[in-house]
Structure 1
Amino acid sequence: MELHSKYQVGLVCVIMLLPALCTSQDFTSSRSTYYGSPDCYGTPRGACGYGEYGRTVNDGSVAGVSGLWKNGSGCGACYQVRCKNQQLCDEYGTYVVVTDYGQGDRTDFIMSPRAYSRMGRNPDASDELFKYGVVDVEFRRAPCKYGGYNIVFKVQEHSRFPDYIAILVLYVAGQNDITAVEVWQRNCKEWRPMRRSYGVVFDAENPPRGELMLRFQVSGRAGVYWVQSKNVIPSDWKAGAAYDSQVQLD
């Protein structure tokens, strides 16, 4: 199944956002604007901490949010956003991934140019949208789908082996938020909380030596629960490396 687009461009990432299959009008009214970008993609300096992933995920259709930020746990959430100008916009709108925090003129979404333009029903309509700057929209949460990808733990580049580790949680599918991460402390036989540094970056000073077993707390339609990784981060982990958890959410 392909990501809906009125005028196709080549996908440079693996995410596909699927709108809800029902036709119920469970949308929330809001406003949206866009930010400048020389290549129309996102920014690697987003407050979620995604780096280059946050620039190109969903072919650069990303957004900064304010009220939906949720102290960083809103990072990675997917939304269907459509503008209310029926002359310029269609019923599908655009599908965005939250990669940043941003506040505008009573806006919930500050989009990359690629995401903003995809609300238009055709290229000419999209050009008109940019002239407005801020438009009335309605939005709803949409499930994220990552074809062939499990949840991945990426060790941030500024981690220092073996004394300090910071990780990003990537490719979280469904309509789920990661609200906490813990690491198994073998000598104490207990789970040790990691600190939410910012966005979706969780870190720990003096992490346990040896292989690192992680679990993460999920908040979603099934409630709040813990999921343990089926794979470990190896004892010789490296800054910048990504490790497959071998689990995925619905």
Structure 2
Amino acid sequence: MTGLWFLFLTVLFVLNLGMAAADLQRNRGWQHATATFYGDMNGDETLQGACGYENVINQGYGLQTTALSEVLFNKGRTCGACFQIMCSNSKWCKKGAGAIQVTATNFCPPSHDQQAPWCNAPRKHFDLSMPMFLNIAEYKAGIVPVVYRRIKCQKSGGIKFVFKGNQGWLLVLVYNVGGSGQVVNVKIRGAQTGWIQMERNWGVNWQVVGETVQRLKGQSLSFQVTTRDGKRVWSDNVAPKDWQLGKTYEGRNFQ
């Protein structure tokens, strides 16, 4: 009986340990997904993409980036968000590999090829840059199961505002956003106007058009940026009154 009782206690301990590990993972916000890679070790095919970044290396993201499946991309609303990802429960996971940290910069489109439906809704999937994938898994794997969670974006310097467009269209690319990283609202204000709501054009690009652009000319410009967690940051007079298209201006960032 003593031996059976010891065996019973051992099994119970192992089960409780497994449940505790599962609870720990769940409490820390980890979720299950899959991951593949695209491009090459130099970042070809990954430098731009559906979020609207012009060059992720030049704009400070390096190759620590990922494309998101349809359900995670959420029509571009998740662009700029930061994730921690670990290879999980696969013989192809690299031994001793920790978690990688990446920023969402692109979209992994749904596929009609039933042999590769990784990015089709409702599947949660990360199409990583090749260097990031090889940090956690073997090349020959192709696809691996992972666990992931949202994390705070750590950025150096302030939020960057790239002015683009034309005489009747001001398009502002908003990048290098700290904190949540995921921008949900942008407002603009001239030195002689109140706050004006900007519209998301696509990804991380926000716009005002027509008469509003004319009103803002000749005035220094300020921005209010709101992220997914409800936090706001105000950047006052970041663009001078003689602001120009093609220029990049820097404001305050989230702590």
**TM-score, structure 2 as length reference:** 0.73
Equivalent residue for 2:145, pick from 116, 125, 136: 136
What secondary structure does 1:50 align onto?
coil
Equivalent residue for 2:158, pick from 150, 155, 162: 150
**Counterpart-to-counterpart distance in 2, 1:46 and 1:177:** 16
Q: What is the CA RMSD across the aligned residues, in angstroms?
A: 2.5
**Counterpart position of 1:112:** 129
What secondary structure does 2:62 align onto?
helix
Query: What does 1:61-76 align with in structure 2 at a 5 Å threshold?
Result: 61-66=64-69, 67-76=71-80
**Counterpart position of 1:126:** none
When residues 29 and 197 of structure 1 are mapped into structure 2, their CA distance, relative to the original with a 3 A threshold, is: same
What secondary structure does 1:217 align onto?
strand
When residues 238 and 53 of structure 1 are mapped into structure 2, their CA distance, relative to the original with a 3 A threshold, is: farther
Equivalent residue for 1:49, pick from 28, 48, 52: 52
**Counterpart-to-counterpart distance in 2, 1:225 and 1:142:** 15
When residues 229 and 241 of structure 1 are mapped into structure 2, their CA distance, relative to the original with a 3 A threshold, is: same
When residues 71 and 28 of structure 1 are mapped into structure 2, their CA distance, relative to the original with a 3 A threshold, is: same
**Counterpart position of 2:33:** 30
1:132-180 CA-to-partner distances (Å, cap 9, x unmatched) read 2111000011221123x11111123xx22x4321111111112242111
Does 2:182 match 1:177?
yes
What secondary structure does 1:228 align onto?
strand
1:115-142 CA-to-partner distances (Å, cap 9, x unmatched) read 111114xxxxxxxx22121110000112
**Counterpart-to-counterpart distance in 2, 1:41 and 1:141:** 26
**Counterpart-to-counterpart distance in 1, 2:136 and 2:59:** 18
When residues 113 and 57 of structure 1 are mapped into structure 2, their CA distance, relative to the original with a 3 A threshold, is: farther
Matched residue count? 212
What secondary structure does 1:53 align onto?
coil
When residues 176 and 61 of structure 1 are mapped into structure 2, their CA distance, relative to the original with a 3 A threshold, is: closer
Equivalent residue for 2:100, pick from 91, 94, 104: 94
**Counterpart position of 2:217:** 209
**Counterpart-to-counterpart distance in 2, 1:119 and 1:38:** 14
1:70-97 CA-to-partner distances (Å, cap 9, x unmatched) read 3323111111111114653335232111
**Counterpart-to-counterpart distance in 1, 2:57 and 2:125:** 18
Alignment-mate amino acid for residue 243 of structure 1: Y
**TM-score, structure 1 as length reference:** 0.75
**Counterpart position of 1:12:** none
Question: Any gaps of 5 or more consecutive residues in structure 1?
Answer: 1-21, 121-128
Alignment-mate amino acid for residue 138 of structure 1: V
**Counterpart-to-counterpart distance in 2, 1:70 and 1:231:** 32
CA contact (8 A) 2:221 2:236 kept: no
Question: Any gaps of 5 or more consecutive residues in structure 2?
Answer: 1-23, 110-116
**Counterpart position of 1:231:** 237
Higher CA-based Rg: 2
**Counterpart-to-counterpart distance in 1, 2:231 and 2:179:** 15
Comparing 108-117 with 211-220, which one deviates more in the overlay?
A: 211-220
What secondary structure does 1:229 align onto?
strand
Alignment-mate amino acid for residue 128 of structure 2: M
**Counterpart position of 2:113:** none
Comparing 195-204 with 174-183, which one deviates more in the overlay?
A: 174-183
**Counterpart-to-counterpart distance in 1, 2:43 and 2:190:** 44
CA contact (8 A) 1:43 1:54 kept: no
**Counterpart-to-counterpart distance in 2, 1:215 and 1:56:** 21
What secondary structure does 1:69 align onto?
helix
More helix by share: 2
